[in-house]
Chain A
Amino acid sequence: KNEVEQSPQNLTAQEGEFITINCSYSVGISALHWLQQHPGGGIVSLFMLSSGKKKHGRLIATINIQEKHSSLHITASHPRDSAVYICAVSGGETSGSRLTFGEGTQLTVNP
């Protein structure tokens, strides 16, 4: 079993829909990261969370430390949100600051 599990693997939505991507992890962590990978391959850091909730524009990330679960929400989705969204964790006792990644969620938003 992977240390970081994401669901769903693939998600297709219509423009304007509210989107949720989930991430569960099985190890102790210091931080959880949400990353976006564009079709061209580049990776952008969206959020780093240790607790609670963060919001940036139409993106919201939450984390529940007790349940070892995080969600990434996109409100009023747009075709330009189409990308792979990757959950990663860092700061475990043996893993230090390296990132351990989930398999990613491929999001397609249709106009």
Chain B
Amino acid sequence: DSGVTQTPKHLITATGQRVTLRCSPRSGDLSVYWYQQSLDQGLQFLIQYYNGEERAKGNILERFSAQQFPDLHSELNLSSLELGDSALYFCASSTDGTRANEQFFGPGTRLTVL
């Protein structure tokens, strides 16, 4: 158990809908990362938050947004869902978000868009 929690574990929804994925980092970790794992693109970085502020952005679609709250949990919002958004979404946390910091992964949320 990494200490990172993600909810829900599975999510099945329809095209055009909006969903929210939630992540709670390990106790004391200030940085949260969101990654997407799809069959055709592998694991890709989406976005990073550090202590409530956006730190870095990767290949995140404009339909997707995220935030980190004062209690350090983070939410990833996916809207106008398309079939291609079906993937495993992982969040990871690290202590301070510096360049050589071990990241601890949550169990992931499996999103299926029908």
Let me know if A76 is at the binding interface, CB within 8 A: no
A30 in contact (CB, < 8 A):
yes
* In the bound complex, CA of A43 to CA of B1 (Å): 10
Q: Which residues of B contact A98 (CB under 8 A)?
A: 33, 45, 48, 56, 58
Band of interface residues on A: 20 to 34
Q: How far apart are the CA atoms of A97 and B100 in the complex, in Å?
A: 7
Knowing A33-B103, A91-B100, A104-B42, say if A99 contacts B108 (CB, 8 Å): no
Count of A-B residue pairs with CB < 8 Å: 70
A60 at the interface (CB under 8 A from B): no
Contact A41 B105 (CB under 8 A): no
CB–CB B102/A97 < 8 A = no
Task: Give which listed residue, B31, B44, B88, contacts A41 with CB less than 8 A.
Answer: B88
CB distance from B47 to the nearest CB of A (A): 9
Over the window 97-114 of chain B, the binary record of Cβ atoms lying under 8 Å from chain A Cβ atoms (1 yes, 0 no) is 111111111011010000
Residues of chain B within 8 A (CB-CB) of A86 are 43
- The CA-CA distance from A44 to B90 in the complex, in Å, is 12
Q: Is the CB of B99 within 8 A of A91?
A: yes
Taken together as a complex, chains A and B put the C-alpha atoms of A97 and B101 apart, in Å, by 7
Type the 1/0 row for A63-81, where 1 means its CB is closer than 8 Å to any CB of B.
0000000000000000000
Chain A interface (Cβ < 8 Å from any Cβ of B): 30-31, 33, 35, 41-45, 48, 50, 86, 88, 90-91, 95-101, 103-104
Task: Using CB atoms and an 8 Å cutoff, list the residues of chain B in contact with chain A.
Answer: 2, 31, 33, 35, 42-45, 48, 55-56, 58, 88, 90, 92, 94, 97-105, 107-108, 110
- A sample of 19 more A-B contacts (CB under 8 A), given A41-B88, A98-B58, is A30-B99, A30-B100, A31-B99, A35-B105, A41-B108, A45-B102, A45-B104, A45-B105, A48-B100, A50-B100, A90-B99, A90-B100, A91-B99, A97-B31, A97-B33, A97-B94, A97-B98, A97-B99, A98-B56
